[in-house]
Amino acid sequence: MGSMPGMPGMDQELPPFTFGRALAFHPSADWYFLVGALLLAGLYLFGVVRLWRRGDKWPVGRVVAWMLGVVTMLLVTCTGLAQYGMVLLSAHMMQHMVLSMLTPILLLLGGPVTLALRTLRPAAKGRRGPRELLVALLHSRYLKVVSHPAFTIPLFIASLYGLYFTPIFDYLMKSTWGHQLMMVHFLAVGLLFFWPIMGVDPGPHRPGYVMRILELFMGMPFHAFFGVAVMMASNLLVTTFAHPAASLGVNPLSDQHLAGGLAWAFSEIPSTVVLIALTFQWAKSEERQSRRKDRAADRNGDQELEAYNAYLARLGQRPAG
């Protein structure tokens, strides 16, 4: 059984996997991701241009990070990889890892919430516009719960073990909507997990840098162990890819081991990116605090000097006696 009716990429035999075929744009790819990516890029650029036109600055690095996030999302959903992800666990795992661990980090480095707050205009007095709704959401009890590490870390872990080590994966892969739901879920879980850790945008849960690093390392070992478990498994974990088409020329168990290796490798790459980002943020924060202290010292120093000069003046005005 090398195909599954109604699933894009499963109703035809595909040639052997190559990076050229996987990265080629495919017209029958997940169109909703294409539309979503275009909207994300367009709205972000609209906000940046709006800021620039009124004379406000917006870091170019954030624009680059956001656009790279959009591109990585397109590369795993709107190319041949989306088709191979229906017939090979390794290709599917690549989609999963990018959408949950690379795309979210890049998008969050773009600071979209901060951009929206600076771009959206306040509504008229007594009314609630988009900006007011966004502020209310940021202060809501719901967001406090879903952004807390007690929620995000278990969700991040469950998205791995609860999906691939239970019948849920095979059930979802039976239909197009199930596969699409998984892709959206991967992206949403990644955004929730990394949002408090990155700390670029305002939010209800913003711990110090040491705690952010601890939160990162609380989730990554489980992710690495998941990759090792898949890589070392002697039996197939899911039945969806148990009978690949002969044209692919792959052994399903070997392909599963490759999928585990990809999952294990991705536990290292995003961790490095996040640590570098946190280090730069920490250094900038320390620099800003140092400048504030210097300015305060300068102001206090001037006041002390003026008071001392006034004291000397008063002494000079006293009659000799």
Residues 3-17: tens digit of each pLDDT:
443 444 444 578 999
More confident residue, 26 or 304: 26
Tell me the β-bridge partners of 79.
25
CA dihedral 53, 57, 58, 64 (to 10 degrees): 80
Is the predicted pLDDT of residue 69 greater than 90, yes or no? yes
Least confident of 133-137, 174-178, 241-245: 174-178
pLDDT of residue 13: 76
Taking all residues of the chain, what is their mean pLDDT, rounded to a whole number? 84
CB-based burial label for 57 (10 Å; 0-12, 13-18, 19+): exposed
What residues have CB less than 8 Å from 163, skipping those under 6 apart?
A: 169, 182
Rounded to the nearest 5°, which phi and psi values hold at 3?
A: -145, 165
Amino acid 7 reads: M
| DSSP 8-state class, residue 147 | T
Element (H, E) at 285: helix 269-317
Assigned token pair, 170? 């095979």
Amino acid 153 reads: I
pLDDT of residue 4: 41
pLDDT of residue 179: 87
Tell me the β-bridge partners of 25.
79
Q: How distant, in Å, are the alpha carbons of 44, 217, 244, 286, 320 from that of 91?
A: 30, 26, 13, 42, 95
Tell me how far apart the alpha carbons of residues 87 and 188 are, in angstroms, rounded to a whole number: 24
Give this prediction's pTM. 0.82
Angle made by CA atoms 302, 306, 309, in degrees to the nearest 5: 140
What letters, b where the CB count within 10 A reaches 16 and e where it falls short, cover 17-34? beeebbeeebeebbeebb
Say if residues 119 and 47 touch (Cβ distance below 8 Å).
yes
More confident residue, 26 or 95: 95
> What percentage of the chain reaches a pLDDT higher than 70?
83
What letters, b where the CB count within 10 A reaches 16 and e where it falls short, cover 64-101? ebbbbbbebbbbbbbbbbbbbbbbbbbbbbbbbbbbbb
> What percentage of the chain reaches a pLDDT higher than 90?
48
pLDDT of residue 314: 64
More confident residue, 316 or 200: 200
